[in-house]
Structure 1
């Protein structure tokens, strides 16, 4: 079996059977290609079926010299998944990464913004420009609904159910969920639609996309990132923030106001509650309040 054939079959498996997003699939592909490049550079004639665990260990050891522990751990996880697929398909009997341990890494807590900082960022938007109303509506949606940036830019007008108070969000692996949308966020989206979007020349194929660039096409992730970075510089914010910071802030502020983790998990679209539990670590004072309020010995 050739590496190219094995990789192509694996990519199809990730896409069709596991339903992963394009970004996730690209990451898995990159992990395997790094191993392939290593074998080619060292003139090692080992196939996906014949490769030895020692060869992979040496590859990981060499890679560890140039990447941090988190990147190394992700690489090991990606390769373990690839060879796990080969075991699943009966091409090999043992996963060569079975005994290779990932490096111990601390759990990185996400950066968050205070409510005042979010207000300052949104108030810094120049509403005299046409894109100003769009940018305000976007940031209000990021924060008000806790969306990923990929979910924001792919949001459709047909996904808006304002009368019911929800929007339909397409998340990782094309999994859909309904997220509540508050009146303030609805108001700014409606202003953007009626005062700006309705007067734009929209390119074919993008008629249903909610947030558009000046050329009438879907916004890119990079553009949203740039908009936020420029606003942070404008108000002199020292934190390193991204679109995801608004999502983290959404979850943290809900928790601080006594929302339960299960509800936050559903709104964020986390498959596992353990992913949502990271927000408990951000605000330990919340745990103290819970004990003080609900413990029978209080």
Structure 2
């Protein structure tokens, strides 16, 4: 079996069997391609079925010279998944990464914005420009609903259930969830729809897409990143922020205002509560408040 063939089969498996998004699949494939490039660079002729733990250990040793511990850990995890797939398909009987440990990385706490910083970013939007109302509606939706950037750009008009107070969000692996929407966010979406979007020349196939670029097509992830970076520069914000920062801020502010983790988990679309628990680490005062409020010995 050649690496190219194994990789193509693996991509189909990730898409069809595991239902992963294109971005997730691309990340897994990139991890395997790093190993393939290493083998090519060192003229190592060995198939994915025959490669052993020693060869992979040498690859990881070289990798450690150029990437940080967190990246190493992610690549090891991606390779472990690839070889688990080969075992699943009966190409191999063992996983060469089984005894290879990932480096200890610690738990990275996400960056967050204060409410005043979010207000400053949104207030910096130039509403005199045609895209101003769209940008305000997008940032309000990122923060008001805690969406991933991929979920934001995929939102449809048919996903808006304002009478019921919800929007339908398509998350990782095309899994759908309903997220409550506050009146303020709904208001800015409606302003964008009625004052800007309705006058646009929308390209065929994008009639139901909520947030459009100037050409009448779906916005790209990169464009949303650029919009936020430019606003941060405009107000002199020194933090390194991205669309995901609004999602982190959404969860953190809910927790600070005594929302329960299970509700936050459902709104964020986390499969495991342990993923949501990272927000507890952001605000130790919340834990102190819980003890002081609910413990019988308070």
TM (normalized to structure 1)? Answer: 0.99
Q: What does 1:120-159 align with in structure 2 at a 5 Å threshold? A: 120-159=120-159
Counterpart check, 1:258 vs 2:247 = no
Which residue in the other structure is 2:270 paired with? 270
CA drift of 1:92 comes to 1.0
Q: 1:141 deviation in Å?
A: 0.3
Q: Which residue of 1 aligns with 2:230?
A: 230
Whether 1:290 aligns to 2:290 is yes
Aligned to 1:41: 41
SS at match of 1:119: helix
Per the alignment, residue 118 of structure 2 pairs with 118
Q: SS at the partner of 1:177? A: strand
1:5 corresponds in structure 2 to 5
Counterpart-to-counterpart distance in 1, 2:31 and 2:244: 24
2 CA distance for matches of 1:229 and 1:32? 31
Residue 187 of structure 1 corresponds to 187
1:10: how far off?
0.8
Q: Does 1:101 align with 2:111?
A: no
Give me the whole-angstrom Cα distance separating, in 2, the residues matched to 1:43 and 1:145.
50
User: What is the CA–CA distance in structure 1 between the aligned matches of 2:30 and 2:229, rounded to whole Å?
Assistant: 28
1:50-61 matched pairs, under 5 angstroms? 50-61=50-61
Tell me the SS of whatever aligns to 1:130. Answer: coil
Query: For residues 233 and 82 of structure 2, what CA distance do their matches in structure 1 show?
Result: 42
Ranges of 4+ aligned residues in structure 1 off by more than 6 Å: none
SS in 2 for 1:169: strand
CA offset digits 1:128-165 (Å, max 9, x no partner): 11111101100000000000000001100000000000
Which residue does 1:84 correspond to in 2? 84
Shift of 1:242: 0.6
SS in 2 for 1:97: coil
Equivalents in 1 of 2:89, 2:41: separation in Å? 28
Deviation string for 1:7-64 (max 9, x for gaps)? Answer: 1111111000101111110111111111112112212121111111100100111111
5+ residue gaps, structure 1, are none
For residues 184 and 148 of structure 1, the distance between their equivalents in structure 2, rounded to whole angstroms, comes to 19
For 1:44 and 1:236, locate their aligned partners in 2 and report how far apart those are by CA, in whole Å. 50
| Structure 1 residue 106, shift from structure 2 partner | 1.4
Give the gaps of 5 or more residues in structure 2: none
Shift of 1:289: 0.3
Which sits farther off after the overlay, 192-201 or 86-95?
86-95
Instruction: Compute the RMSD of aligned alpha carbons.
Output: 0.7
Separation in 1, partners of 2:194, 2:39: 57
